[in-house]
Structure 1
Amino acid sequence: MEEGMEALVMDDMSVKGFKVGSGIVLDYSHALLAIRELGKFHALSYAIRDQKPELLKEWISKSADSFYNSTLKNIGMKAIMDVGRVVLESYESSENRTESEVLESFLSRLPQFFELPSIGKADKYSVINHGDFQMRNMLFKYGDSSQPHHPTALCMIDWQLSRLASPALDILFFLSVCSDKNLREHHYDNLIQEYHKSFSSFLKQLGSDPNVLLPFEVLLHHLKEYGGFGLCNAMWLIPMAAQECDFSKCTNEDALLKEFPTSPQQQYVPIIRDIITDFIKYGYQL
Structure 2
Amino acid sequence: MNDLTSELYHHLDRKQPLNLQHCKIFMKTIGKFHALSFALKDYCQRKNIDFDEIVYKIREDIFLNASNRDEINEQILLQNDFIIQTCFDTNVDQLIIEKVNNFSKRFCNTLYELIQPKDNDEYSVIIHGDCWTNNLLYKYEDNETKSNPIDLYLIDFQESRYTSPVWDLTTFMCTSMDYETLHTNYDSLIKIYYDSINEQLIKMNLNISLLYPDHIFQLHLQKYFQIGVGLSVYMHLPLMLRNHSTSINELEESVIAEDGNILKALNLSDTNIGNNFRERIRGVLTFAIERNFI
**How would you bin the TM-score normalised by the shorter chain?**
0.7 to 0.9
Cα 1:170–1:73 shift into 2, 3 Å: farther
2:285 aligned with 1:276: yes
The SS at the match of 1:273 is helix
Greater shift after overlay, 11-20 or 174-183? Answer: 11-20
Task: Write the distance in 1 (CA, Å) between the matches of 2:178 and 2:124.
Answer: 27
Aligned to 2:2: 11
Q: Is the 8 A contact 1:38 1:195 kept in 2?
A: yes
Cα 1:87–1:146 shift into 2, 3 Å: closer
Cα 1:72–1:274 shift into 2, 3 Å: farther
Task: Write the distance in 1 (CA, Å) between the matches of 2:279 and 2:91.
Answer: 17
Match of 1:21 among 6, 9, 12: 12
Cα 1:187–1:231 shift into 2, 3 Å: same
Cα 1:20–1:78 shift into 2, 3 Å: farther
How high is the sequence identity, in percent, across the aligned residues? 24
Aligned to 1:260: 266
Aligned to 2:110: 113
Count of residue pairs brought into register by the alignment = 276
Letter in 2 for 1:17: L
Q: Is the 8 A contact 2:60 2:161 kept in 1?
A: yes
Deviation at 1:231, TM superposition (A): 1.4
Task: Write the distance in 1 (CA, Å) between the matches of 2:218 and 2:90.
Answer: 33
TM-score when normalising by structure 2? 0.83
Aligned to 1:62: 57
Letter in 1 for 2:258: E
The SS at the match of 1:161 is coil
Q: Is the 8 A contact 1:131 1:170 kept in 2?
A: yes
Greater shift after overlay, 146-155 or 198-207? Answer: 146-155
Greater shift after overlay, 207-216 or 163-172? Answer: 207-216
Q: How does 1:1-286 map to 2 (within 5 A)?
A: 10-24=1-15, 25-53=17-45, 54=49, 56-69=51-64, 71=66, 77=73, 79-89=75-85, 91-115=88-112, 117-118=114-115, 121-144=119-142, 148-235=146-233, 236-243=235-242, 244-245=247-248, 246-247=250-251, 249-250=253-254, 251-253=256-258, 257=262, 259-262=265-268, 263-264=272-273, 266-284=275-293, 286=294
Unmatched segments (≥5 aa) in structure 1: 1-9
- 1:54-78 alpha-carbon deviations (Å, 9 max, x no partner): 3632222233424224549757655
Letter in 2 for 1:16: E
TM-score when normalising by structure 1? 0.85
Deviation at 1:248, TM superposition (A): 5.3
Greater shift after overlay, 210-219 or 169-178? Answer: 210-219
- 1:197-245 alpha-carbon deviations (Å, 9 max, x no partner): 1111111112211122112232122111123212112211111012443
Letter in 2 for 1:153: D
Task: Write the distance in 2 (CA, Å) between the matches of 1:101 and 1:261.
Answer: 24
Cα 1:175–1:76 shift into 2, 3 Å: farther
Cα 1:247–1:210 shift into 2, 3 Å: same
Deviation at 1:98, TM superposition (A): 2.5
Cα RMSD (Å): 2.7
Deviation at 1:174, TM superposition (A): 0.8
Deviation at 1:118, TM superposition (A): 4.3
Greater shift after overlay, 100-109 or 35-44? Answer: 100-109
Deviation at 1:165, TM superposition (A): 0.7
Deviation at 1:182, TM superposition (A): 1.5
